[in-house]
Structure formats: structure tokens, C-alpha cells
Amino acid sequence: MQAAISVNAEGPEGLRFAEVASPHFGPDEIRVKVKATALNRADLLQTMGLYPAPAGVPSDIPGLEYAGEVIAVGSRVQRWKAGDRVMGLVGGGAWAEELVTHEREAIAVPAELSFADAAAIPEAFTTAFDALVLQGGMTLHSEVLIHAVASGVGSAALQLCHLFGARAIGTGRNEKKLARAAELGLTRSIVVKDGVFSARVKQFTEGRGCDLALDLVGGDWFAETIDAMAIKGTVMLVGLVAGASAEVPLRSVLAKRLRLLGTTLRARSLEEKITVARLFEQRVVPSFVSGQLEPVVDAVLPMAELEPALQRLAGNDTFGKLVLTW
């Protein structure tokens, strides 16, 4: 099979397409013909040698999400047969014509969705669903602060807020991208300059602050995020775009009895990943059929354009996902 191989930590320029052996699969696993994949910031880091693949996945083939067709199943597989349409997250190896995954990690793709649309779903929507709902406890009328609301995860979080009856406030640095988020129904947005936003969050919430924050930013923004929270609020720390360290006002954390949760999907155990995949299939996927949720796709490009697509991701002016098809 063909795969995009990352060599020598040279960044996107170091990627080469090569013929490699199809991966073996165990009795509980399925082999998937990848029809489409989507790009993530983590891929970019991995090509630069900054985010090594976990044990058990191809170390030299990046790619964290896919949509495709089942082409072979292990001897104990119960959920799938050849020809079924699936999507999902993998620890790596999605930038290849074929990949192998545990049968319970794969998620059924509804007939209404194209492979290109499906490939834009797993990472963004699973991350947002897990952080906001499963860990963050988002519920009806929760006030939710979404940093980088125009990002893949951010725009998924925005839609999940609406789906679950929560109230979103979105931030970003780019006015144009925030305008795109408005098309997805964002009515309360903050163009952040110099990392200042908590006073505006308090205005939006009549002084109370937010119950939940989806923080893709960290760094310089973190103390403001703490300040923007309501009593007993939860900060889900999902990304560190603004920096990997922060001066934190511990007195506010204590006095407001805040909950700060760090989270990442990739490093989890099989059982944790399966749990999220199954809940996601049950509770979230049907809303893509009903139209309440929509994959946010910036562009669909052929796999041969992987390198320029990665450069575009690095340039930070995409809205939604960059999808690549074989």
C-alpha cells in the first residue's frame, strides 16, 4: 500500500510517499481501506519530531483520523463485515491507503455522509464531546467559554453547545474567522487582543462567569480564563497554542472551587478510547443525520497535496478541517 512517511523530523517537507506493507491485524481488529483523512496540528508536530507516536502504532506514518471501508475482519470481530463504512480515531497511521483498528474503536458512518465529510468528524467532535459532555458535565443552559472557536475542535464544540442546549461564548484572534463561527450560530464572540477577555465574559453572563471552558490555548490566556469562571466552574485544558506554562492565580482556583482538567485522547488506554467511541456513536452521530450537526470542512484535497495542505494548516488561516482523499 501507499503511505506518507515522515522522516528525520524535517517537518512537512520531509514527507515522502512510499510503498509499504499492509499492517497485520489481530482477531479483534479490522482492516480499513482509507478513503479520506483529515489534518491536525498534532500531525504537524509529529512531522517535526515533537509529538512521537505512542507504542503500538506506526511510528513513521502520521495521521490520526480516517473514514473508509472495511476490507477484512479478524476472526472474533462481531460488529463489521467487508464493505461496511467506518470512521474513527487512531494513534497514528491514517496517512496510508490501509490501516488497522480495534473493531470497537471504529464508528459507523451514516449513509447520508460522504467519506470526505466523515473524515472531518472524529478528532474535532470526539475531542469536544469528551471534554464538554463526558468530562465537563455540560448540560442544559450551561454557560460555556470556547477558546479558538473557529478551530476544528472549537467549531465542533460550538455545535455541541447548541445540540445540548448550552450557551456558548466564543473567542478568537481573527475577526474574519469569528464571522464564520457566527454563521454556525455563535451570537456572543470576543475578538481577543493581548489576551484580555474575562471582563467581556462577565458582561455576557451578567457577572456570573462561565460554568465550563474549553481551553485550546493555555499559556498567557490561562489566568484570564480562571478569572472568567463562575463558582464551581470547570476548565477543560485541551491545547496549549499560547504556551505550555502559565502563572495561575491559585487563590481564585481555591476560593471559586474550580476544577481544572487536563485531557488528551491520543495517550489513552484502549478501554478508554473504546468507551468514548461507543458513546460518541450512540449520542452524537445521529445528529449528523438529522442535520443538527455538520462537519466543518475548509477544503477537500487529493492526498498528493498533503504537503501544501500541511503548510496551509501551519499558516493558521483555515476554518474547519482540511480533508485529504486517496
Which residues contact a second copy (rule: CB under 8 A)? Answer: 218-219, 222, 237-240, 243-264, 267
CA 108 to chain centre: 18
Decide whether 165 or 262 has the Cβ nearer to a second copy.
Answer: 262
At closest approach, how far in Å is the CB of 276 from a second copy? Answer: 13
- Rank residues 261 and 270 by Cβ distance to a second copy and give the closer one: 261
How near is the Cβ of 139 to a second copy at its closest, in Å? 18
Of 110 and 249, the one with the shorter C-beta distance to a second copy is 249
Q: What's the angle, vertex CA 222, arms to CA 266 and CA 236, rounded to 5?
A: 40
Of 74 and 249, nearer to a second copy (C-beta) is 249
Place of cell 458535565: 137
Rounded to whole angstroms, how far apart are CA atoms 265 and 261? 13
Alpha-carbon torsion 120, 51, 57, 93, what sign?
positive
Shortest spacing between CB 258 and a second copy, in angstroms = 5
Looking at beta carbons only, is 163 or 240 nearer to a second copy?
A: 240
Kind plus residue range of the DSSP H or E element containing 126: helix 122-129
Instruction: Provide the CB-side half-sphere exposure for 100 (13 A, CA).
Output: 17
Cβ 280 to a second copy, closest distance in Å? 18
Q: Please, what is the minimum distance in Å from the beta carbon of residue 230 to a second copy?
A: 13
Task: Identify which of residues 46 and 114 has a Cβ nearer to a second copy in the complex.
Answer: 46
Q: Whole-number minimum distance, CB 141 to a second copy, in Å?
A: 19
Q: How far is CA 169 from the centre of its chain?
A: 19
b vs e for 37-63, b when ≥16 Cβ sit within 10 Å of the residue's Cβ? bbbbbbbbebbeeebebeeebbebbbb
Closer Cβ to a second copy, 260 or 301, answer by number: 260
Comparison of 243 and 302: residue with beta carbon closer to a second copy? 243
Q: Is the C-alpha dihedral spanning 131, 134, 139, 142 positive or negative?
A: negative
The least CB distance from residue 250 to a second copy, in Å, is: 5
For cell 506518507, the residue is 4
* Angle of helix 270-283 versus helix 122-129 axis, rounded to 10: 90
Q: What is the DSSP string of 15-70?
A: EEEEE-PPPP--TTEEEEEEEEEE--HHHHHHHTTSSPPPTTS-SS----EEEEEE
Q: Name the minimum Å distance from CB 48 to a second copy.
A: 16
